[in-house]
Structure 1
Amino acid sequence: MSFKIAIIGAGSVGFTKKLFTDILCVPEFRDVEFALTDLSERNLQMIKSILDRVVEFNRLPTKVTATTDRRAALEGARYIISCVRVGGLEAYADDIRIPLKYGIDQCVGDTICAGGILYGQRNIPVILDFCKDILEVAEPGAKFLNYANPMAMNTWAAIEYGRVDTVGLCHGVQHGADQIAEVLGAKSRTELDYVCSGINHQTWFIDLRLNGRKIGKDELVAAFEAHPVYSQQEKLRIDVLKRFGVYSTESNGHLSEYLPWYRKRPDEITRWIDMSDWIHGETGGYLRYSTETRNWFETEFPQFLESAARPIDPAKRSNEHASHILEALETNRVYRGHFNVKNNGIITNLPQDAIIESPGFVDRFGINMAAGITLPEACAATCTSSINVQRMSVHAAISGDIDLLKLAVLHDPLVGAVSTPEEVWQMVDEMVVAQARWLPQYAGAVPAAKERLSKSRVKTREWAGAARRDVRSIEELRAEKAALKQAV
């Protein structure tokens, strides 16, 4: 088979390499063309060098091109994969830093909450530019696979306003299933059958069966509380399981910032999180991790290039959905996964216009979702709160209505638990002014926002957060990796 795959934001080096090698695990895809595009010529050339090394070592006919001209990369593409982070780590730092001045402590800040909403404002205009190019120059009927956060907002905009055949993809469900299989003593995840449904990053394991035997709440709670690691790392997640009756897909840190109850006071934050790794709730944890990862890659690039000279091993193919979807569509080998699509009756007790994440099957006829799922009421209530925020955020990003943006932030569960309306109004003004270069739709609102900020009397504080860690140096990372290697 010969067709073209374009990867936008291909400078996301580790993830791009994973998608690339996963796809080449499919024997029929040896002749595929990969077109890489990114704003950074330097990052493009680095990732192209790595992928060229993979192709050369494995003696494949696969073609890899790289260009900063996005339309050229998209021309004739059958599949387009997006991994973009508009504004990069500079804008992301503001997503964490500015809300902290108003008492809002985020672990990740890429889905909802103040950081996720502003992230969506930066991404959505760019997503719509992608969609315009796809409709004009890609292969007719091309499919857009969005991996970029905020997943629901980006996918919502691409479907409703971009009018492109779009599916949103995430790996939270797979990671949650791995945990459940482990605590229940399964030999592999294949022994676990599950139905997981909700919205991205708030998806719920509403039916669990181990080797055909149904697993109830009490058994699952006992299994997690008995686990020597997860009982400490997932304290908040286990508490939600006890109260809601079902387990969430998302990590302790992710879940903590989508709810109004666990990060509202500093002493509560430290009670529920675990500092053994960023993902369990550390303040700005993913920002720190992303910064360290970028610094490590740039410094240790020769090692990454050397490690690319290895055989592609189908046994090590990851559980990221993209390669499996492409394989099912092109070969008719059926794949079951969890996908982000417009609801339209798939989940009965969530809004019809929402972007939901739920089970589906893929074959040559496309992505076919299992319809008629009803969530437990508490799960539906929590998801609906986030959906209302997402809807307002998308509409604000499209219209450039700063007042609607402020209302979206005001209705966010964690923001509403921490901040007053006056604080929210000033915080949004401050974020829009700080990120103006990535927010063209708000250009007309920036002067008035600056004027309001010059006269504001709302008090703020310089606060690092309840559980902040410093970015580690390359030397510290090397020492840590050496210690881990020696321990093993």
Structure 2
Amino acid sequence: MTTKIVFIGAGSVVFTQGLLADIFAFPELRGVHIALHDIDAERLDTAEGAARAIAVRTGASPRITAHAERREALDGADFVINIVQVGMGEATRTDFEIPARHGVRQTIGDTLGIGGIFRALRTFPLLKALGEDIAAVCPDAWLLNYTNPMAMNVQYLAQATGLKRVVGLCHSVYWTMHDLAELVGVPFDEVGYQAAGVNHQAWVLRFERDGTDLYPLLDARIAEDPELRRRVRVDMYRRLGHYPTETSEHSSEYVPWYLGHASEVERLRLPIGAYLGIVDENVAEYEKTRAALASGAELPVEGTLEYAPQIIHSITTGTPRAVYGNVPNHGLIDNLPATGTVEVPCLVDAMGVQPTRIGSLPAQCAALNRQYLSMNDLVVRAALEDDPRSVRQAAMADPATGAVLPVERIWALCDDMVRAHGELLQPSLRAVLGS
């Protein structure tokens, strides 16, 4: 029986192209059924054209179908890859511009903070409907989520939909370790590592070569290079003792110490509004793809080394491999909340995705992760309980927002965000509460 892989939000063409290149790189997956879904007809058509071009370039012979209707696309799916960005670039600009008027600096704005809160609240209605469709037409499918805010979305899916085969995927651990290996001058394939925590704020617990700790080599590199010490995550590592697994731009948003201080923004070279540049780049890449398809030019076929294709290959062929996944914390990390989403190593084989129990994190790392997960819990609670006050309370609990605004202005900021995002939010959360 042919394996069916469904892309939800396939109009995110650049990411779709990379994932397809990875999928078709596996000989066993070259004959799969790729079902593409997007609500934007032009983007769906572009995604279909790109998929067919990549199949030709890679010598694959998949069945490719495009669907405006989501449930039709999902019917009989084995794997569902969610890459939807609700509201697209316009909503992302709102997430930056309105907080900036209130004095809140953001760099990426997709995980915590005001940007993360409202990105989640825009996404939850889609996730609930998607979960209902999966339960109806492909209940045994694995939902592989790439949409941020990762930890909030996975927690919401677990609590609002009851789906069990859900794993959130992110490349931050892999690329962090790749970069650390390069930094200390050790070939990546000779490095052993273990990381755990929460998405975009996990911690490198072990960093070794042949059983020898590589952290001392990293310490030496940092000591000899003052420019390395001008990175947020190097600064965090020096003070916390474990290296965080996301970029400095991301890491700066999850703590109260950096973005609220102009001197730290300058010292650590933090690019305020950096994600807006990424949005523009993605639009430009999309237009390049459209132009290439229209002219008959070849599309570049570049793999991404993302986890979703590896998971699909392992489950369908029984090939064992380890990946990092974001899953509900059912006894995986002892000193983090049981309802939160944690990022841990996972074994993948024909039995599916099997998370690894870590035990307890170092106390100082768990303290930051608990603050992160407490804020997440309030956002998810707001949606599940139709409680607009919980939205404001989540913003109050967010460390970066609370570091720069008093509570009255936090509530006023949330009111402005509600007004701006309007109908993208579930009706119960559209209320303007005042300060």
TM range (shorter): over 0.9
**What's 2:236 paired with?**
240
- What SS is found at the alignment partner of 2:414? helix
3 and 73 in structure 1: CA distance in 2 versus 1, 3 angstrom threshold: same
Cα distance in 2 between the residues matched to 1:227 and 1:267 = 20
**What's 1:480 paired with?**
none
- What SS is found at the alignment partner of 2:110? coil
Gaps of 5+ in 1: 274-280, 457-488
Kindly report which structure 2 residues correspond to 1:100-115, keeping only aligned pairs within 5 A, or say none.
100-115=100-115
**What's 1:194 paired with?**
193
Cα distance in 1 between the residues matched to 2:55 and 2:336 = 45
**What's 1:302 paired with?**
291
Is the 1:120–1:397 Cα contact (8 Å) retained in structure 2? no
Structure 1 residue 366 and structure 2 residue 352: aligned? yes
- What SS is found at the alignment partner of 1:367? strand
**What's 1:270 paired with?**
266
Cα distance in 2 between the residues matched to 1:85 and 1:405 = 20
**What's 2:316 paired with?**
330
Cα distance in 1 between the residues matched to 2:58 and 2:193 = 37
Kindly report which structure 2 residues correspond to 1:424-463, keeping only aligned pairs within 5 A, or say none.
424-442=410-428, 445-446=430-431, 448-449=432-433, 452=434
Paired amino acid for 1:86: V
- What SS is found at the alignment partner of 1:257? helix
Q: Deviations over 1:301-348 (max 9, x none)?
A: 3347766457x7xxx743210011111111111010111001111111
Q: Specify which of 271, 289, 293 is matched with residue 278 of structure 2.
A: 289
- What SS is found at the alignment partner of 2:403? helix
Report the Cα offset of residue 171 of structure 1.
Answer: 0.3
Paired amino acid for 1:371: R
Kindly report which structure 2 residues correspond to 1:406-425, keeping only aligned pairs within 5 A, or say none.
406-425=392-411
- TM-score by length of structure 1 reads 0.85
Cα distance in 2 between the residues matched to 1:161 and 1:374 = 28
Q: Deviations over 1:342-397 (max 9, x none)?
A: 11111111111110001111111121222143211111000000100000101112
Q: Specify which of 321, 339, 344 is matched with residue 330 of structure 2.
A: 344
- What SS is found at the alignment partner of 2:254? coil
Report the Cα offset of residue 206 of structure 1.
Answer: 0.7
Is the 2:21–2:58 Cα contact (8 Å) retained in structure 1? no
Cα distance in 2 between the residues matched to 1:58 and 1:250 = 32
Cα distance in 1 between the residues matched to 2:75 and 2:272 = 41
**What's 1:61 paired with?**
61
**What's 2:92 paired with?**
92
Kindly report which structure 2 residues correspond to 1:13-412, keeping only aligned pairs within 5 A, or say none.
13-138=13-138, 140-164=139-163, 165-187=165-187, 189-216=188-215, 218-226=216-224, 231=228, 235-273=231-269, 281-298=270-287, 301-303=290-292, 308=298, 317-412=303-398
Report the Cα offset of residue 222 of structure 1.
Answer: 2.1
271 and 3 in structure 1: CA distance in 2 versus 1, 3 angstrom threshold: same
Cα distance in 1 between the residues matched to 2:421 and 2:303 = 38
Cα distance in 2 between the residues matched to 1:309 and 1:383 = 41
Report the Cα offset of residue 96 of structure 1.
Answer: 0.7
Paired-residue identity, %: 33
Cα distance in 2 between the residues matched to 1:395 and 1:307 = 49
Report the Cα offset of residue 226 of structure 1.
Answer: 4.4
207 and 58 in structure 1: CA distance in 2 versus 1, 3 angstrom threshold: closer
- What SS is found at the alignment partner of 1:34? strand
Cα distance in 2 between the residues matched to 1:392 and 1:19 = 33
Q: Deviations over 1:435-471 (max 9, x none)?
A: 012012336x43x44xx4xxx7xxxxxxxxxxxxxxx
Report the Cα offset of residue 292 of structure 1.
Answer: 3.2
Is the 1:125–1:398 Cα contact (8 Å) retained in structure 2? no
Report the Cα offset of residue 61 of structure 1.
Answer: 2.4
Is the 2:24–2:60 Cα contact (8 Å) retained in structure 1? no
Paired amino acid for 2:65: T
Is the 1:397–1:441 Cα contact (8 Å) retained in structure 2? no
Aligned length: 433
Is the 2:7–2:34 Cα contact (8 Å) retained in structure 1? yes
157 and 300 in structure 1: CA distance in 2 versus 1, 3 angstrom threshold: closer
Cα distance in 2 between the residues matched to 1:352 and 1:300 = 43
Cα distance in 2 between the residues matched to 1:202 and 1:66 = 36
- What SS is found at the alignment partner of 1:206? strand
368 and 300 in structure 1: CA distance in 2 versus 1, 3 angstrom threshold: closer
309 and 429 in structure 1: CA distance in 2 versus 1, 3 angstrom threshold: closer
Report the Cα offset of residue 47 of structure 1.
Answer: 1.6
Is the 1:221–1:241 Cα contact (8 Å) retained in structure 2? no
Report the Cα offset of residue 300 of structure 1.
Answer: 6.0
Cα distance in 1 between the residues matched to 2:143 and 2:16 = 16
Is the 2:2–2:32 Cα contact (8 Å) retained in structure 1? yes
Cα distance in 2 between the residues matched to 1:78 and 1:304 = 29
Cα distance in 2 between the residues matched to 1:158 and 1:323 = 21
Report the Cα offset of residue 400 of structure 1.
Answer: 2.8
Cα distance in 1 between the residues matched to 2:312 and 2:105 = 39
- What SS is found at the alignment partner of 1:418? coil
Select between 191-200 and 291-300 the one with higher mean Cα deviation.
Answer: 291-300
Cα distance in 1 between the residues matched to 2:254 and 2:298 = 38
Q: Deviations over 1:410-430 (max 9, x none)?
A: 000101111100001111011
- What SS is found at the alignment partner of 2:7? strand
Cα distance in 1 between the residues matched to 2:427 and 2:321 = 39
Is the 1:360–1:367 Cα contact (8 Å) retained in structure 2? yes
442 and 98 in structure 1: CA distance in 2 versus 1, 3 angstrom threshold: farther
Is the 1:41–1:67 Cα contact (8 Å) retained in structure 2? no
- TM-score by length of structure 2 reads 0.95
Cα distance in 2 between the residues matched to 1:295 and 1:24 = 25
